Structure 1
Amino acid sequence: MKKITLSAIALSAIFTISTLTSCGGGESHEAKNETSTEVATETATEKVEVAEVEVDLPGKETFKTSGCVACHEPNRKVVGPALKDISAAYLDNREGLTAFLKGEGEAIVDPAQAAVMAPQIEITKVMEDADRDLIIDYILSIK
């Protein structure tokens, strides 16, 4: 009987110590998780604000509906160069970008992709000047 009582007391003591130890460590771990969640939430909020700014740029809708978004994104190369790279290349050369989109100029940003762009040039060269100008305004507004 003494063996069973002594074993039960030892088992209770071990359980109590492990419970107290794990509860003490859990509080600081939980506090760390709360901090991480707060930082992640702040970062996500900042990204949403940037996306909202891009929505209001002139010509973005025309850029999207004309098929340009299939190959171009503002800040990264997809099939064609990123819009920020196009904008930088044509910074002081709006006439050059206009000529390119009318099929009257050479590609200067990524000449190796000129053949891929050829079908889209067929679309941009016959579109209304006002629509093409909106697309150009949008491209040149990306920095």
Structure 2
Amino acid sequence: MQKTIAFLFGIILFSASCQSEKKEKEKIATSAKNQEISAYDLGKNIFNGKGKCYTCHKTDKKSIGPSIHEIIKVYTEQNGDLIAFLKQEAEPIVDPGTYAVMKTNFAIIKKFTPEELKAVETYMINVNKNKTQ
């Protein structure tokens, strides 16, 4: 009888452990999704706010600078590093002719944290993904 009770108790503990592990995995997945949403929102706020990127870069058409769609297209095709460019660690690859105008904005961009730079990139990538919506 004691062996049966111990066996049942072991099954109950094992089952509870599995449920706890499943809940933890769900929590991690939800947290990752929320972080991506937060990065998008932060990037959007920077792009349209303190970064003033919107003044030269429109979603789907060239303005003073290339569109978001063109930027992401070229950086994807050429396996470029947008963040390195924004940190002035890489040459322009999209529209080098407008680089002189862009240089004036690097004073603003230099103050961005690595998280903010990544958020702007996340925002731009997601705007590009949703271009048909």
TM bucket normalised to smaller = 0.5 to 0.7
Give SS of 1:91's match: helix
- CA deviation vs aligned residue, 1:62-116 (integer Å, no higher than 9, x gap): 111111001001100110000000010112636x211100011111000001100
- Residue in 1 aligned with 2:75? 90
Gaps of 5+ in 2: 1-39
Alpha-carbon offset, residue 126 of structure 1: 2.7
**1:81/1:110 contact within 8 Å kept:** yes
Answering whether residue 46 of structure 2 is matched by residue 62 of structure 1, we say yes
Query: CA separation in 2, counterparts of 1:90 and 1:137?
Result: 13
Gaps of 5+ in 1: 1-56
1:1-143 alignment, distance < 5 Å: 57-58=40-41, 59-65=43-49, 66-91=51-76, 93=79, 96-141=81-126, 142-143=128-129
RMSD across aligned C-alpha pairs, in angstroms? 1.6
Query: CA separation in 2, counterparts of 1:97 and 1:123?
Result: 16
TM-score, with normalisation over the residues of structure 1?
Answer: 0.55
TM-score, with normalisation over the residues of structure 2?
Answer: 0.59
Query: CA separation in 2, counterparts of 1:121 and 1:84?
Result: 21
- Residue in 1 aligned with 2:17? none
Query: CA separation in 2, counterparts of 1:131 and 1:139?
Result: 12
Could you tell me which amino acid in structure 1 is paired with residue 74 of structure 2?
A
Give SS of 2:57's match: coil
Alpha-carbon offset, residue 121 of structure 1: 2.0
Higher RCO (C-alpha 8 Å, min separation 6) = 2
Number of equivalenced pairs: 86
Alpha-carbon offset, residue 139 of structure 1: 1.4
Query: CA separation in 2, counterparts of 1:91 and 1:122?
Result: 26
Query: CA separation in 2, counterparts of 1:105 and 1:120?
Result: 15
